[in-house]
Amino acid sequence: MRLTVAQVEVSADHAVNRDVVAGVVRAAAQDGSDLVVLPEYTSGYDPRAVGPAHAEPLDGPFVTLLRELARERGVAVVAGTTLPGESAERAANAVVAVAADGEVAGLYRKVHLYDAFGTRESDTLEPGPADAPPLTFDVGGLTFGVMTCYDLRFPESARRLVDAGAQVLLVPAAWVAGPLKADHWRTLLRARAIENTAVVVGVGMAGRGVTGRSLVAGPDGVVALELGEAPETATTTLDAATITEARRANPSLANRRYTTTAR
């Protein structure tokens, strides 16, 4: 199957962001893509903080556009958005997966909020429930699992998705720039691929204050695609047989003595 990494720059102007997304998805579909993956916060982003002012309901203009594009072009789409929270003071950082028929295939609310390196995401966002079922869905004969940005630093997040059947891990992100941050991003994406014998697709946001540097790592950790810091899209081919062979040669999942448990 063909997967498009859409490393876009996102602003606080939601209408402009929707125009960018529409252009990217239509171009990817024209190129024969089966799945387009966009960054965290694609509906709207402010590097100072994202919160209730950026929130849209699931039936709001952003997800409605994703559904229309998917249905119109016959391509699945995964993108980060911000949903209203349970209280007026905080919103929810979420990733929505839309199937090629325009139906919502699933929703993931970010569990691990970025309260690190001088940033406090929890001031304006509420965490998703840690015991929610993992978000997995199928496209082109492969099972995809979804986590978000800071979740990458918690290996149990990836392992939980793999235990639910994921062969490919999608990581939409707005990975904040800073000392060693790009190195951490690259290293962690490859580590999650190697330890889970899974393909890992990290889709970073481009622009001020974030690293970009989207990357696709194979189940052996070899980097198959890597972008720079500027806005860019790229399409790659994923093959289930490659993952099957990697897991046959390196049966580390089968050889485990410990297993993950949701709590």
Q: Which of 56, 121, 126, 149 is catalytic?
A: 149
Alpha-carbon span 36 to 34, nearest angstrom: 7
Mean pLDDT of 113-125: 96
Mean pLDDT of 56-85: 98
Question: If you ran DSSP here, which 8-state letter would residue 131 be given?
Answer: T
Mean pLDDT of 198-220: 98
Q: Which of 40, 56, 121, 126 is catalytic?
A: 40
> In the structure encoding, which two tokens stand for residue 171, read together?
């990581």
Instruction: Indicate the pLDDT class of residue 108, thresholds 50, 70 and 90.
Output: very high
Q: Give the pLDDT score at 262.
A: 45
| pLDDT at 259 > cutoff 80 | no
149 catalytic per annotation: yes
β-pair partners for 107: 96
Work out the end-to-end distance of the chain between its first and last CA atoms, rounded to an integer number of angstroms: 34
User: What is the average pLDDT score of the chain?
Assistant: 96
Q: Give the pLDDT score at 260.
A: 61
68 catalytic per annotation: no
Q: Give the pLDDT score at 263.
A: 42
Alpha-carbon span 32 to 12, nearest angstrom: 30
Question: If you ran DSSP here, which 8-state letter would residue 133 be given?
Answer: P
Question: If you ran DSSP here, which 8-state letter would residue 118 be given?
Answer: T
Q: Give the pLDDT score at 261.
A: 57
181 catalytic per annotation: no
Q: What's the predicted TM-score (pTM) here?
A: 0.97
Alpha-carbon span 176 to 197, nearest angstrom: 27
* pLDDT tens column, 132-183: 999 999 999 999 999 999 999 999 999 999 999 999 999 999 999 999 999 9
* pLDDT tens column, 16-51: 999 999 999 999 999 999 999 999 999 999 999 999
- The answer to which of 14-18, 195-199, 232-236, 259-263 has the lowest mean pLDDT is 259-263
In contact, 250 and 221? CB cutoff 8 Å? no
Furthest CA-CA distance within the chain: 51
| pLDDT at 242 > cutoff 70 | yes
Q: Which of 86, 103, 110, 195 is catalytic?
A: 110
User: DSSP assignment of 4-33, as one string?
Assistant: EEEE-B--S-HHHHHHHHHHHHHHHHHTT-
